[in-house]
């Protein structure tokens, strides 16, 4: 199948169910291990970010992935939430020594470094956040 989608409870413990969905897709599409690792990480970071920052949001978060030729398109949709653009997340000082570093802030940074494109859209009228990601497959 070239696309899969699922709705998952707003709970960190739902990650295993999400990984199972992604594995169905990556196995079916014969996605290489490196890209499959990347997809898992990107979805986990974006999903956990939604869970943590949008307490009180809708019960379910929708995760979808689709392949179009050599490109993968990921989408996460969260309903009844406040806007949060991941592009505004603080960039951690990754070149600094441990004395200057603080915990946190790595998740969205990793996502941005590992994908080709990360887009954010917020529909104020129905309080819906949509994050889309494009990742080009390696040969």
Partner 1 sequence: MFEITREANGTVSLHGRLDASQVNNARAVFDQIIESCEIDFAELSYISSAGLGLLFGTQKRLVDGGGGLTLINLSPHIREIFQIAGFDNIFEIRD
Query: Binding residue for partner 1 (CB under 8 A) from 92, 128, 130, 137?
Result: 92
Tell me how many residues contact partner 1 (CB under 8 A). 29
Gyration radius (Cα) of the chain, Å: 15
Separation of alpha carbons 115 and 136, rounded Å: 8
> Computed from CA positions of residues 86, 89, 91, 97, in that sequence, does the dihedral angle turn out positive or negative?
negative
CB of 3 or CB of 96, closer to partner 1: 96
Per-residue contact string for residues 51-90; x = within reach of partner 1 by CB under 8 A: ----------------------------------------
Two tokens at 85?
A: 């653009």
Contacts of residue 54, Cβ cutoff 8 Å, sequence gap at least 6:
10, 78, 81, 82, 84, 129
Q: Which residues bind partner 1 (CB under 8 A)?
A: 12-13, 15-16, 19, 33-34, 37, 40-41, 44-45, 48, 92-98, 101, 103-104, 106-107, 109-110, 113-114
């Amino acid at each position: 199948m070239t696309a899969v989608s699922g709705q998952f409870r707003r709970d960190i413990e739902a990650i295993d169910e999400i990984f199972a969905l992604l594995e169905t897709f990556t196995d079916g599409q014969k996605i290489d291990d490196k890209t499959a690792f990347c997809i898992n990480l990107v979805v986990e970071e974006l999903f956990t970010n939604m869970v943590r920052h949008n307490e009180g949001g809708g019960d379910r978060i929708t995760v979808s992935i689709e392949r179009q030729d050599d490109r993968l398109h990921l989408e996460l949709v969260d309903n009844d939430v406040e806007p949060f653009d991941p592009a505004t997340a603080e960039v951690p000082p990754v070149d600094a020594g441990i004395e200057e570093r603080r915990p946190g802030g790595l998740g969205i940074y990793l996502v941005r470094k590992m994908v080709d494109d990360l887009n954010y859209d917020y529909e104020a009228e129905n309080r819906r956040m949509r994050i889309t990601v494009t990742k080009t497959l390696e040969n």
